[in-house]
Amino acid sequence: MIDDTIAAISTPPGEGGIGIVRISGPAAFSIGRQIFLFKRKREKIKSHYLYYGHVVDPKDQTVIDEALISFMRAPHTYTKEDVVEVNCHGGIMPLAKTLEVILACGARLAEPGEFTQRAFLNGRLDLAQAEAVIQIIRAKTETAMRLGVNQLSGGLSQKVKAIRQTLLSLLAQVEASIDFPEHQDVEEVAREEIASKTKASLAQIEELLATAHHGRILREGLRTVIVGKPNVGKSSLLNALLREQRAIVTNIPGTTRDVLEESINLGGIALTITDTAGIRTTEDEVEKIGVERSLAALQTADLILFVVDSSQEFSRDEEEIWQEIATKPCIVIANKIDLLTEPQEKLALLAEQFQPKQIVAMSLLYNEGIGELEEAIKAEIFQGKVPAVESAMVTSTRHKDALRRAKEALLDLTGAVKAGVAVDLLAIDLHTAVENLGEITGEAVSADLTREIFSTFCIGK
């Protein structure tokens, strides 16, 4: 039972038309009444109504700000507790002073995400839904936002809960057969049923896991890294995609020394594009660090754009880069095609060399080939078609990891059933899978993990 009352400024810091201070907990209503002077005297306050008046310091009734206040009676509130919201003028001072008098009345300053955490602890949202709230707040594209809204409405939770429920009832049966070992026949039935239900659950988990790759990309954006040897046109490519002169472009090899990151929206998908220092063996200390950073950026890339200068021969440095990236999702960009008199011939050669990767001929100096590159990216990552947002999609690494562990446990279980392992041992794997799935929706989750999840939220949410 939560018995303290929390308060925080729920609107972002800075200047705005209005700013809101939110109070939640058993003392919310009494604190609200103490700090507010209604325009007209009120004996009874209606829930979910907006009242006009002034925020005052209860000590001496000095007026702090003109405001609107609402009292929302539990359980139909964000936290399922009594909630009061004060709409002040949206400046730093009115909000800080209002919060100050609220705290002086006995409320405690809320931790980041604590309102949403209460919604979770009071059973209004499960953990995956609570995480969706922050996903919506942080969404940078419409797609990311739709994913968050779907998750908030319980799309993912329902599927996970259904699988978990099946496994839970199976576990109950298995445990019953352990408790009554004299029923040999029970054991036999259990064994067959375990095998078939495990198989079905595995298929459902696989189905969810299959959405995870695209789910993350749709939510967070595609981590795209531009690499190549110096002076081939990497920074020119970044600028062309951004349609602005973001990175310095010169004809001096080694112009870019640091990694540079920018975001664009490509047909609804967010792309985080990283321009890197040209990779080559160098004695220059600064450039060396740049090259190391380029190589590091490659490790976490979802997509690599490998830029080569098509007017030049392939170099040893490029050979090494290619070794590094050949097995990863990558597109080869044959730049400076304008310098060639026989571009088709050269492109045919490159096509052979980089098979089966896609090659896009570009002239970044003349802004040619951008459309083709955008198409190539869609083809590489989404097989040409940007996937639709499904009602249940895995978009968080935490969920993916839990599903993967549940899958492992069920695979172990399948093996053990086949090997004729005693039923009581099967219960262990089953139990693990149930726990893992429970971590997603929060049925089985430690207080530490919950705290960690909510600590990434903003104050006042």
Ligand X SMILES: Nc1nc2c(ncn2[C@@H]2O[C@H](COP(=O)(O)OP(=O)(O)OP(=O)(O)O)[C@@H](O)[C@H]2O)c(=O)[nH]1
Give the interface with ligand X as residue ranges (CB under 6 A): 228, 230-236, 249-251, 253-256, 277-278, 335-336, 338-339, 363-365
Of the pair 101, 260, the CB lying nearest Mg ion is at: 260
Out of Mg ion, ligand X, none, what residue 338 binds, judged by CB under 5 to 8 A for its kind, is ligand X
What's the gap between Cα 157 and its chain centre?
A: 16
| Residue 211 binding Mg ion, by CB under 5 A | no
With beta carbons less than 8 A apart as the criterion, state whether 306 and 227 touch.
Answer: yes
Q: Of 250-289, which residues contact Mg ion (CB under 5 A)?
A: 255-256
Which of the 8 DSSP states describes residue 313?
P
CA angle 442/443/446 to nearest 5° reads 65
Binding-site partner at residue 263 among ligand X, Mg ion, none, CB < 5 to 8 Å by type: none
Q: Please identify, among the stretches 46-54, 122-130, 247-255, 422-430, the one whose residues bind Mg ion according to the rule CB under 5 A.
A: 247-255
How far does CA 123 lie from the centroid of its chain? 23
Contact 256/229 with Cβ under 8 angstroms? no
Residues making up the chain, counted from first to last: 461
Q: Which residue has the tokens 């078609």?
A: 385
- What is the closest distance, in whole angstroms, from the C-beta atom of residue 170 to ligand X in the complex? 58
Q: Considering beta carbons, is residue 250 or 391 the nearer one to Mg ion?
A: 250
CA-only gyration radius of the chain, Å: 29
267 binds, among ligand X, Mg ion, none (CB under 5 to 8 A by kind): none
Residue 391: which of Mg ion, ligand X, none does it interact with, CB under 5 to 8 A by kind?
none
Residue 272 or 282 having the CB closest to ligand X: 282
Pairing of strands 269-275, 330-335: unpaired
Rounded to a whole number of angstroms, the minimum distance from the CB of residue 391 to ligand X is: 43
Between 110 and 304, whose beta carbon lies closer to Mg ion?
Answer: 304
Give the shortest CB-317-to-ligand X separation in angstroms: 11
* Contact partners, residue 178, CB within 8 Å, separation at least 6: 423, 424, 427
Residue 386: helix, strand or coil by DSSP? Answer: coil
* Rounded-to-integer distance, Cα 279 and Cα 271, Å: 22
- CB 260 → ligand X: shortest distance, Å? 10
Considering the complex, what minimum distance in angstroms separates the CB of residue 247 from Mg ion? 6
| Contact residues: Mg ion, CB under 5 A | 234-235, 255-256
